[in-house]
Amino acid sequence: MPREIITLQVGQCGNQIGGEFWKQLCLEHGISPDGSLMELPADSAKPDDRKDVFFYQSDDDRYVPRALLIDLEPRVVNKVAHIGAYKNLFNPENLFIAADGGGAGNNWASGFRQGGDHHEQVMDMVDREADNSDSLEGFVLTHSISGGTGSGMGSYLLERLRDHFPKKLVTTYSVFPNWDQSQSDVVVQPYNSVLTLKRL
């Protein structure tokens, strides 16, 4: 029985990590950039290839990631989901970009507040993916803890996921900042990080 995992890619960093994650996962499972199966040599076939953990098979026999691409500004989600070789891989219903497209401005509080503003739409997407799973194992959230959307909205979504799915695993792949302040272009990254760490 499959134990499905839903991936939430939040903010610029989370979507960049997620884009690379899906490229690698497609290679490992023999899935082409458009979601169809690649022809593999007979000796490379894996008897227990668990594609169904991270992918579901659509009606047209394409494999589609169980992924939600979430951002408050359109640039990175558009790059991952609409440009390049993997533009036909993702379900367009699982893309969330805030209507105003202004982002969180590297401000945790702005991202957290906007998470509250948009949580019904995002949680509807999560519920739809969960309902399409036979035996949901849990969630993986990719994000940065030092920016605005990944840290603030990511924090809000982590709280909602834990409330809404109390018995499911919730794992994060969190990118931490370089603590050398001479390397940072975000003055408030220590504050964003501390506020996010409380919710990991």
| CA 49/CA 30 separation, integer angstroms | 10
**Tokens 């169980």 belong to which residue?**
66
DSSP assignment letter at 105: T
**pLDDT tens string 2-20:** 699 999 999 999 999 999 9
Q: Which range among 49-53, 107-111, 132-136, 180-184 shows the weakest confidence by mean pLDDT?
A: 180-184
Secondary structure element (H or E) that encloses residue 192, with its range: helix 189-197
| CA 197/CA 200 separation, integer angstroms | 5
| pTM of this structure | 0.91
DSSP assignment letter at 178: P
How far, CA to CA in Å, does 168 sit from each of 117, 128, 151? 24, 16, 21
Q: Which of 191, 174, 169 is nearest to 112 (CA)?
A: 191
**pLDDT tens string 25-82:** 999 999 999 999 987 655 555 656 788 899 999 999 899 999 999 999 999 999 998 8
